[in-house]
Structure 1
Amino acid sequence: MRLPTYAGMLEDYRLVGEALEVRAPAVPLTRTAFAAAHVVSDPLAERDPWVGRPAVDWENTLKFRCWLWDQGLDLAEAMDTAQRGMGVDWPTARELIERTMRAAKAHPLRPRVACGAGTDHVELSELRDDDTLIAAYSHQMEAIEAAGGQVIIMASRAFPAMRADIDTYARVYGRLIEQAAEPVILHWLGDAFDPMLAGYWGAGDVSSATDAVLAIIAANPLKIDGIKVSLLDQAHEEGLRARLPEGVRLYTGDDFNYADLIAGSSGQYSHALLGIFAAIAPAASQALEALAKDDVETYHALLAPTVPLSREIFKAPTQFYKAGIAFLAWLNGAQDHFIMPAGFQSAREITHYAEVFRLADQARLLTRPDLAMERMQTLLRLHGIG
């Protein structure tokens, strides 16, 4: 087929990759790997997509999660990958969590599921002090715990909006961690993913912010499973990882440098909580299997080709990466359409989707090549490319 390029031209492209088999790992994995999954829309039921509550295709949304679990991956549910705050509201997220937890309990592998608790059911203007923040977070944390999920305390836009200082973060997070039934995962999402989170942890620079979050962790080490870090800065993550108390994990959210961070060095490594793992599940699962067998060469051989794909999907403006995740799910038959909550599929251009198609093929991730070709051609025709 002829695919558009960033040079504004059309170039012939022929598939080159031999698709990876979709299978479970043969050995227990030595890294915890949460894949953050997206939500599949129901386009026939959707009404007023920019302003109303999204219509969800629950059958295919849950089928996609089972597909991840079947490959030995755990799940991060109702995170920003699921368009929290960008098309998916809290009532939908709550139903998603409850449905997912029921499916997880019935799955033969009994996967771990960690769920995002935020403050997005309350208007920013109403979140103005410790008490309102704690009440908002507590409402969602209680719903997650009632469903049987592990709590991820998501970064909230309310802190920067109210210009919270370091002490405010410490007080609010301290209360939330203390009242959680089980150890929680903290969440540091950089402003590349959400510009409204600039200055998180009450500090203007990354070094001071790091000290602030480490102080929160040091005050509550037994109630913190780990911290998910998405700053797209490998050196910073490695430095933070080395300073964590024993038993507190670093979950990488770095969709640019995950291969090296998970492999680690000098006995230190990151676990994973990644949106890209939902898109590259066969490669991720089999690479982690190889790592568990101490086969580092195969690990890198499987993951290295996925890194250019991930960098393309997560290119600036990074917050639009969700479109690439859903696009690959459509190409591989995990959903019958390329429609997203709030019409989010329009967030990226056709040249981006063409490049994602090429790179997914080269990473051996077009698991149904004939279907992927057919659907890519459909999208091209929609954009006037015959």
Structure 2
Amino acid sequence: MLRLPTYEGTLKDYALTGDPLSPRAPEISLTRTAFAAAHVISDPMAERDPWLGRPAVDWDATLNFRRTLWDQGLGLAEAMDTAQRGMGVDWATARELIDRTMRDAKAHPLKPRVACGAGTDHKPLSELTDAEAIIAAYAEQMEAIEAAGGQLILMATRALPAIKAGPETYASVYDRLIEQAAEPVILHWLGDMFDPALTGYWGSTDVAEATEIVLDLITRHAAKIDGIKISLLDQAHEEAFRARLPDGVRLYTGDDFNYADLIEGDGTHYSHALLGIFAAIAPAASQALEALAKGDTETYHALFAPTVPLSREIFKAPTQFYKAGIAFLSWLNGTQRHFIMPAGFQSSREITQYAQVYRLADQARLLSRPDLAEARMRTLLALHGIDG
């Protein structure tokens, strides 16, 4: 029993309900492609300059976390914003992460799919003032990822909105990038709720206009595009968008609010998944997707339904701080020994939210080691001056 803070400014008793899900591999092949976007685990003992220097990474823990996802039949989206790209993790660290992850993935018995984020974050915006410079920056990261054996995700870059690029510039940049990729790529449309610097992506602040721009790009390059990840937190938009995609091009939902309905689909179209929340809810995600593959929609919704309030809490506004909730659950579940993040990002959320995440994770059967979770929550409360 703990006394947890509430959003009403009170302390309220809470006892864990128990009954956690046991992580396991799916019994049959999944009918949806599911990438979990995983975070990076810090090494506090090696950290020396957390706000200004390169992050110190606990490579053993970081890679072991990825193995737990693969063991449950999930793919991996590597070195994305979940891993704090551009928010504490630099390209040099991301490149090492990609190289290490790809070596591990090739050795894993399930041979999991791994897609890796290519961007322009190794160059300051002051050097990315035209299309050619942006293309060259992307190309450098793309070559490194392909050399490691990863599939390419063309991450949204802050450089294009920074130069106020119009639709023609976006088209010229992405035409070149897609053409030079060795294999089909995944596009990336990340809304400004995740990163305000991406406002006006695709050359317009009007979502309907931006939709036409990117659909035209996809239609022109359909053979070289595996799919597009859309993270706009707008279910109706995603449903309309995926219905217009060329045959063979996937919609990878990045909607951490409405993923259950989007992945199930409407009987004609459905979304695949490329989600940060899947790293935090892996047992429920894996077993729900297994149930869907078996045609058991009742179990599918029973497993996913309680994870949705948890995901909405973790991704609440300001949404760009969601990564703290994912690392917090990793700590509660013992997949990391501390709650320290690159650049001290754990301080981006308040104790009241961590208390609510604790409650909701328990109710979603996602605290795999209840005794450990309670002990660690008690420690965090004490650090905030709360006698749990």
- TM-score, normalised by the number of residues in structure 1: 1.00
Partner residue of 1:95? Answer: 96
Partner residue of 1:299? Answer: 300
State the Cα distance separating 1:109 from its structure 2 match: 0.1
% same residue: 77
Paired residues, number:
386
SS of 2:66's equivalent in the other structure is helix
Counterparts of 2:196 and 2:48, CA distance in 1 = 28
Q: Conserved in 2, the CA contact under 8 Å of 1:17 and 1:363? A: no
Q: Conserved in 1, the CA contact under 8 Å of 2:28 and 2:290? A: yes
Partner residue of 1:360? Answer: 361
Alignment map for 1:272-287 (pairs within 5 Å) = 272-287=273-288
Alignment map for 1:265-276 (pairs within 5 Å) = 265-276=266-277
- TM-score, normalised by the number of residues in structure 2: 0.99
Counterparts of 1:46 and 1:343, CA distance in 2 = 11
State the Cα distance separating 1:204 from its structure 2 match: 1.9
The C-alpha deviation readout for 1:86-107, integer Å capped at 9, x for no partner, is: 0000000000000000000000
Alignment map for 1:35-50 (pairs within 5 Å) = 35-50=36-51
Q: CA RMSD in A?
A: 0.4
Structure 2: gaps spanning 5 or more residues? none
- Determine whether 1:58 maps to 2:26: no
Q: Conserved in 1, the CA contact under 8 Å of 2:5 and 2:11? A: yes
Counterparts of 2:300 and 2:205, CA distance in 1 = 37
Counterparts of 1:333 and 1:111, CA distance in 2 = 23
Partner residue of 2:115? Answer: 114
Regions of 4+ moved over 4 Å: none
SS of 1:92's equivalent in the other structure is helix
Partner residue of 1:205? Answer: 206
Q: Conserved in 2, the CA contact under 8 Å of 1:182 and 1:223? A: yes
SS of 1:250's equivalent in the other structure is strand
SS of 1:101's equivalent in the other structure is helix
Counterparts of 2:18 and 2:207, CA distance in 1 = 40
Partner residue of 2:243? Answer: 242
State the Cα distance separating 1:266 from its structure 2 match: 2.5
Partner residue of 1:379? Answer: 380
Counterparts of 1:62 and 1:377, CA distance in 2 = 28
Counterparts of 2:21 and 2:268, CA distance in 1 = 30
Structure 1: gaps spanning 5 or more residues? none
- Determine whether 1:73 maps to 2:82: no
The C-alpha deviation readout for 1:68-117, integer Å capped at 9, x for no partner, is: 00000000000000000000000000000000000000000000000000
Q: Conserved in 1, the CA contact under 8 Å of 2:18 and 2:370? A: no
Partner residue of 2:174? Answer: 173
- Determine whether 1:30 maps to 2:43: no
State the Cα distance separating 1:48 from its structure 2 match: 1.0
Letter in 1 for 2:150: G
The C-alpha deviation readout for 1:173-232, integer Å capped at 9, x for no partner, is: 000000000000000000000000000000120000000000111110000000000000
State the Cα distance separating 1:267 from its structure 2 match: 1.9
Partner residue of 2:156? Answer: 155
Letter in 2 for 1:292: A
